[in-house]
Structures are given as C-alpha cells and as structure tokens.
Structure 1
Amino acid sequence: MASKPRLHYFDGRGRMETTRWLLAAAGVEFEEQLIKSKEDLEKLKKDGALLFQQVPMVEIDGMKMVQSRAILNYIAAKYNLCGKDLKEKALMDMYVESIMDLGEMIMLHPFKPADVKETVIIEKATTRYFPVFEKVLKDHGQEYLVGNKFSRADVQLLEVILMAEELKPDILSGFPLLKAYKGRISNIPTIKKFLQPGSARKPPTDEKKAAEAMKVFH
C-alpha cells in the first residue's frame, strides 16, 4: 500500500491549507509533520528536503514537492479534479488564479499592520471577484464552475468563500447563486467531512498563531 502524503508546514493555514482541502476533497488521507521551530525548518534545509529552501513541502509518490501551485496542480491532476480538455483547464486556471489572489489577501491579513483594514479585502471580494463567479453560475446554469463536474475550482472557491465569511458573515448577501452554490459544495460528502470539527482543517489565523509562524519563518 502506498504511503499517505506527508505535509510539512507549521500548525496553521498559510499556503498549505488549500493542499489540505484538495486532498480531503479527493478523499485522500494524509499525515502532517508540523514545523514547530526554526530548528525544525533548518533541519529540513540541511537534509536537502527543500528544493528552494522553503515550505510548504509535500512528500507524495516518492517526491518531495515544493512550490504551492506545483503541489496543487499535481494533486488536482492525480485525483481527476481538473477539466476534461485544454479549454476547460484554461478556464479553470483563470478561475483558480483569481481565487488564489483573493485567498492570499485574506491569508496575509493577520500578518499585516493593524491599520490595514478588512474593508479593503471585503470591497475587492464583493466588487471584483464574487460578481464574476455569480455571473458564471447564472450564465451556464450548472451546479459546478467548469464542465458541470466537481473540480478543484469548486474546492478552492468554497475555501475562499468561507474565509471571506470569517471577515464578514453576510458577505454573500448580494450573491444568491453563490450562496446556494456554497450550500451544494459544502454538502459533497468528502467536503462535508472536512468541515466537521476534529478534521485536519485549520482554524483562522489569530494573532497568537501569526506570532508563532513569524518565529519559525523569520
């Protein structure tokens, strides 16, 4: 039996969280090797495990993969969470890149100075990103974002929607199709399991968790 993927990162969301989401959505069990100190990180570097001297790093299929997008692309392809043809994959890439742009803003928010307001993120979510996905759902009238098939785009959009709701619980109030979409995707069995208490999903990054991460990586 093949060994479970092993995730090397600190005990928080950061740039590993979407990998956790994708593996969970695919029904794949994984292990986490938590980096708790600078010494843990330095050991990985000295052992030659980090190709570019940085994490996240995922051990999977005999590889030690780094670079978040490379990791996500591999997992999506391995577990058939990509589009069926080149056009679908291109469309999915566009959606996913925009989702990751918004997710990055939310992810980095706890590490920014106090005067960097959540309102900026909320404004961009509700005027730049969510209107696009509301229109996509309206135009094609299907349950999923691409090809009417569950894909990484659905996993990653749900993840960022839930992150945005942590900043503003009613952020989808002007997006009825996205709100219904969130309910559908949340009830996919593997996703529903990942959203339950006790799963590998990490809680929002608070000041304490941000400080712990800074000690490891700086």
Structure 2
Amino acid sequence: MAGKVMLHYFNGRGKMESIRWLLTVAEVEFDEIYLTTREQYEKLLSDGALMFQQVPMVEIDGMKLVQTKAILNYIAEKYNLHGKDLKDRVMINMYSEGIFDLMEMIMMLPFKADAKLEPIKSKAKDRYLPVFEKALSGPIYLVGGKLSCADVQLLECTLMLEEKFPEILGEFPNVKAFQGRMTQIPAISRFLLPGSKRKPQPDETYVKTIMEVFKINIPLS
C-alpha cells in the first residue's frame, strides 16, 4: 500500500501551490518536506530524485514525479478531474495553460527588482479574464458541466489577482460568481481557513531561501 503523498518544495506558494490546491479538492492527505538548505537540494540531486534538477517533486503511488503540469495531470486523471473524454481534456488543458501563464507573472514578482503590476493587470483584464467570463456565461464549470482541475486553477488564480488588484473582478461578474460557488465546496472552504496548508503570499524569507538553495539560479518550472 502506498504511503501518504509527500511534497518536496519550499515553505511557500510557488508552483507547488496549485498541486496543494488540487490534492485538497481531491481530498488527498499530504505531508510536506520543506527545502531550507542547499544541502537538502544536493541530496535530492544525488539520490536521482529530480529528473531535471528542479522542484516541485511529489512522491505519490511509489513514484517521484517532477514537472508541475505532469504532476497536476496525473492527479487530475487519477481523481476524475480531467474531463470525460479527449475533447474535454484538451479544452481543460488550454484553459489551464492560459491560467498558468497569468499566475506565473504574479509568482515571479518577488524575484524582480523592477517588478511592475500594471502590465499584469492589463493582460489579466484584456487577454485572460474575458476568456473565462465568456466560458462561464451559462455553465457552472468551465468544461463538460463538471468540476475539473481547470476550475480549481482558475479559482486559485482569481484569488491571487484579487490580492494584488482587489477590484479586478468587478468587470467580470460571471467569473466572480464562479469564484463564489467554488469557495462553497467544503474542501475548498476548509482550505481557505486560517491554519490550513494553503501558503501565504511570498515574503522576503521565502525569496531569500530560494536564492540561497539555488545559488541565485532559480529553476522553478
């Protein structure tokens, strides 16, 4: 019998946060081992645990999985969060790719000395949110009338956007209503409570740890 799912990453959001979200919605218990030193990272490398010398790394079902999208796809497939057929899955994947493009812009802000918020806000309002506003003009969920990983990722993304731009969903009532519905799902409601395994916004300690572990070379993909 496989043991509890184990996550190897920093004590912060980054690209592991979407994995935490999806495991939570699938109601899969997990533990975490936080990278805090260069030595821990080098041990993972010497053990052959990191295929491309990158984290996140997730131990699940006797495997050590790397590459964020591959991990998310595995979880989504295993827990029926990836659509009913090939056409559903490609739509889910297209939505997810767009969501990740937007979230990555926000994730990288703490690592940029000249970080500017306005370009992110403009792209969110002009390129990304209109897509989801249209997709949610009738359906409860993005694809196939059922909950998928893309829905979970969109919720995570909207919450990240509101942390930076509190009024940004004002022009997107369908997305805002979707957000409200999603937060009523019991597993998500619990995840949003203080004391859950959801991570706060990145702080200086998180950034400093990553830069020290990777010697300023930050392979987060």
Instruction: Give distance in 1, aligned partners of 2:112 and 2:157.
Output: 19
For the Cα contact (< 8 Å) 2:183–2:189, is it kept in 1?
yes
Equivalence map 1:75-86=2 (5 Å)? 75-86=75-86
The aligned counterpart of 2:218 is: none
1:122 is aligned to 2:108: no
Could you tell me which residue of structure 1 aligns to residue 194 of structure 2? 197
Question: What displacement does 1:4 show?
Answer: 1.1
Offset, 1:168? 0.7
User: Could you tell me which amino acid in structure 2 is paired with residue 56 of structure 1?
Assistant: P
Gaps of 5+ in 2: 216-221
Name the SS of the counterpart of 2:170 in structure 1. coil
| Matching of residue 168 in structure 1 with residue 165 in structure 2 | yes
CA distance in 2, matches of 1:207, 1:129: 29
- Corresponding residue number in structure 2 for 1:158: 155
Deviation at 1:116, TM superposition (A): 2.4
Q: CA deviation at 1:101?
A: 0.4
Q: Note the 1:58-73 alignment, pairs <5 A.
A: 58-73=58-73
Give per-residue Cα distances to partners, 1:49-74, cap 9 Å, x unaligned: 11222211000000001111111110
Q: Distance in 2 between matches of 1:129 and 1:188?
A: 24
* Aligned ranges 1:41-190 → 2 under 5 Å: 41-113=41-113, 115-138=114-137, 141-190=138-187
Following TM superposition, the consecutive aligned residue runs of length 4 or more in structure 1 with deviations greater than 6 angstroms are none
CA distance in 2 between counterparts of 1:194 and 1:153 reads 17
CA shift for structure 1 position 20: 0.4
The whole-number CA distance in structure 2 between the counterparts of 1:193 and 1:146 is: 24
Deviation of residue 30 (structure 1)?
0.2
RMSD: 1.0
d(CA) in 1 for partners of 2:214 and 2:72? 22
* Distance in 2 (alpha carbons) for counterparts of 1:161 and 1:214: 27
Structure 2 counterpart of 1:177, which letter? N
Cα-to-partner distance string for 1:65-109 (whole Å, 9 max, x where unaligned):
111111111011011101101111111111000000001111111
Q: Is contact 2:10–2:206 with CA below 8 Å preserved after alignment? A: no
Distance in 1 (CA, whole Å) between partners of 2:174 and 2:202 is 28
Number of residue pairs matched by the alignment: 215
**1:149 Cα deviation (Å)?**
0.4
Q: Give the TM-score taking structure 1 as reference length.
A: 0.96
For residue 18 of structure 1, what is the amino acid of its counterpart? S
Structure 1 residue 207 displacement after superposition: 2.8
Give the secondary structure class of the aligned counterpart of 2:145. coil
Is 1:209 equivalent to 2:206 in the alignment? yes
Structure 1: unaligned runs, 5 residues or longer: none
Partner of 1:11: 11
Q: Structure 2-normalised TM-score?
A: 0.95
Partner SS state of residue 82, structure 2: coil
